[in-house]
A and B are shown apart, each in its own frame.
Chain A
Amino acid sequence: QSALTQPVSVSGSPGQSITISCTGSSRDVGSYNLVSWYQHHPGKAPKLMIYEGTKRPSGVSNRFSGSRSGNTASLTVSGLQAEDEADYYCCSYAGSHTYVFGTGTKVTVL
């Protein structure tokens, strides 16, 4: 149950696009298309942004999109806005009814 690897920080200017990677292994990301992404503003509850790799829950902006290639999943935020500044975490099903989170990425809007 080793944490998935994410970049510590990613930044971009308003209107730009950013991509956050989430690297796991053949035991988790590589074996299951069951990666979710969460937006976490300090002091608030995490918010589900993407599930099953590419699906957006109702109410989540279509500026957020997910993808996967091999052992790496990615979250892309297009048209970056000030309100997107937050911590982002990926999470993957890891088999045997367990989940594993990523190390987290701080997104800064310049």
Chain B
Amino acid sequence: EVELVESGGGLVQPGGSLRLSCAASGFIFSSYAMGWVRQAPGKGLEWVSAISGRDGSTYYANSVKGRFTISRDNSKNTLFLQMNSLMAEDTALYYCARDIGREVDTGAMGVWGKGTTVTVSS
């Protein structure tokens, strides 16, 4: 069964850091682009970042560029999101998602995890 399980969320103070993980199973992880999508309380979905399955190239939304870093460990079938300089506006449910293709150019994510909650507050 294809599955994505996020972990690493929690409560962090403004300016702090957090590292999210996403464990993948049931498919050839290295063959797909992967990404993170978040949903702030009461708000809609927001694309955050993605990483190519072909060459590991990384891409970011303007709102997180320079603060967040996406990476992947294909040997451990795991996706990561290192979040630094966190702000209250980063408070959200963070979903890990598998793209339908190997590159970040399809506009579609076919498999989603259930999410992990990040709360930025003092």
Contacts and interface: CB of A to CB of B under 8 A. Distances in A.
Contacts of B57: 97
Contact of A57 (B46, B110, B114): B110
Given A45-B113, A46-B112, A51-B100, A36 B44 contact: no
B110 A97 contact: no
Majority DSSP secondary structure for residues of B touching A: loop
For chain B, give the interface size range. 20 to 34
Interface in A27-59: 32, 34-36, 38, 40, 44-48, 51-52, 57
Interface in B76-122: 95, 97, 100, 103-110, 112-115
B45 A101 contact: yes
Nearest to A105: B44
A95 B115 CA distance: 26
A79 to B, nearest CB: 24
B108 A46 contact: no
A104 B12 CA distance: 28
Contacts of A57: 110
A72 interface: no
Interface in B31-66: 35, 37, 44-47, 50, 52, 57, 59-63
A46 B110 contact: no
